[in-house]
């Protein structure tokens, strides 16, 4: 979200600079009534900007989610690898237990992965990165809503079947909107784990929101809130 943060910071800095300059001019030339009116406008404007920054930090940085009318998701395994197909099928079954107003189904497919609405592609890729996980997840977010996602898994990392399944569950968790967890027992810890109950709670809460965006969402969207995210591991 680098571009979004830069746009927001630039907007806030520019706005505050203009307000300060107007205040300087008004202080020199305006009468008491005009100064009072200016202060009455500047204070709530500053509060609005502060609330927008807090919202951008807390909501957009950590709580992206699928829109209410886009929660019938299809996971399309395009790996052509029987072992990965089994792993992704298991991942779909596991996340279906979350009960977070998401309805997942699994399909077998061919071709390359790309953003394709509510169809989450799974493809083989060059995922050789530092760390124990050989998987990547990408998603596109607009105004707090995930617009599309796909996963890449390794074709030559020689994982056993249990580890493949763990990777598939972890990466699909990212595609559903979850970040890395700081709990070493969590399936969403950057090295993976086994505990899912905490993720179920987080996934449920991430979908417990108002679908009609407030002014904070709209402002952030105008300032570059439409971003592509890359979750490594």
> In CATH, what number is assigned to the domain containing residue 184?
3.40.390.10
Q: Tell me if 220 is assigned to some domain.
A: no
Whether residue 202 is found in the same domain as residue 92: yes
Whether residue 47 is found in the same domain as residue 82: no
Helix then strand count (H, E) for the chain reads 6, 7
pLDDT score at 140: 87
* 9-28 pLDDT tens trace: 656 666 666 667 666 666 66
Q: Tell me if 215 is assigned to some domain.
A: no
Whether residue 90 is found in the same domain as residue 165: yes
Pairing of strands 119-125, 135-142: unpaired
Contact at 8 Å (CB) between 194 and 162?
no
Tokens of 163: 């580890």
pLDDT score at 59: 47
Share of the chain above pLDDT 90, in %: 30
Whether residue 33 is found in the same domain as residue 69: no
Whether residue 92 is found in the same domain as residue 124: yes
Whether residue 106 is found in the same domain as residue 149: yes
Whether residue 136 is found in the same domain as residue 47: no
Residue identified by tokens 């779909």 is 92
Q: Tell me if 212 is assigned to some domain.
A: no
Q: What is the mean pLDDT of the segment spanning 61-82?
A: 86
Whether residue 88 is found in the same domain as residue 9: no
Looking at the predicted structure, is the pLDDT value of residue 75 above 90? yes
Whether residue 118 is found in the same domain as residue 23: no
SS3 assignment, position 111: coil
Looking at the predicted structure, is the pLDDT value of residue 2 above 50? no
Domain stops at, among 60, 88, 108: 60
Q: What is the mean pLDDT of the segment spanning 24-41?
A: 65
pLDDT score at 133: 79
Domain that holds residue 99: 65-206
What percentage of the chain's residues is helix, strand, coil (to nearest 5)? 45, 20, 30
Q: How many domains does the chain have?
A: 2
Q: Tell me if 130 is assigned to some domain.
A: yes
Tokens of 24: 């300087």
Whether residue 145 is found in the same domain as residue 30: no
């Amino acid at each position: 979200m680098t571009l979004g943060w830069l746009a927001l910071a630039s907007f806030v800095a520019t706005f505050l600079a203009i307000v300060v300059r107007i205040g300087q001019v008004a202080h020199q030339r305006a009468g008491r009534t005009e100064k009072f009116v200016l202060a009455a406008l500047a204070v709530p404007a500053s509060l609005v900007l502060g609330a927008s920054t807090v919202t951008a930090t807390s909501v957009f940085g950590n709580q992206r989610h699928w829109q209410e009318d886009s929660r019938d998701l299809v996971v399309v395994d395009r790996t052509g690898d029987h072992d990965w197909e089994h792993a992704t099928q298991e991942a779909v079954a596991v996340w279906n237990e979350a009960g977070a107003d998401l309805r997942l189904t699994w399909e077998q497919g061919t071709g390359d992965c790309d953003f394709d609405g509510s169809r989450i592609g799974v493809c083989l890729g060059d995922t050789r990165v530092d760390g124990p996980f050989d998987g990547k997840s990408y998603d596109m977010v607009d105004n707090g809503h995930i617009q599309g996602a796909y996963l890449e898994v390794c074709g030559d990392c020689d994982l056993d079947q249990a580890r493949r399944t763990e990777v598939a569950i972890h990466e699909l968790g990212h595609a559903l909107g979850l970040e890395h967890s700081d709990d070493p027992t969590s399936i969403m810890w950057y090295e993976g784990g086994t505990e899912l109950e905490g993720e179920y709670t987080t996934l449920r809460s991430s979908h417990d929101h108002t679908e009609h965006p407030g002014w904070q969402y709209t402002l952030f969207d105008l300032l570059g809130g439409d971003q592509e995210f890359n979750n490594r591991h």
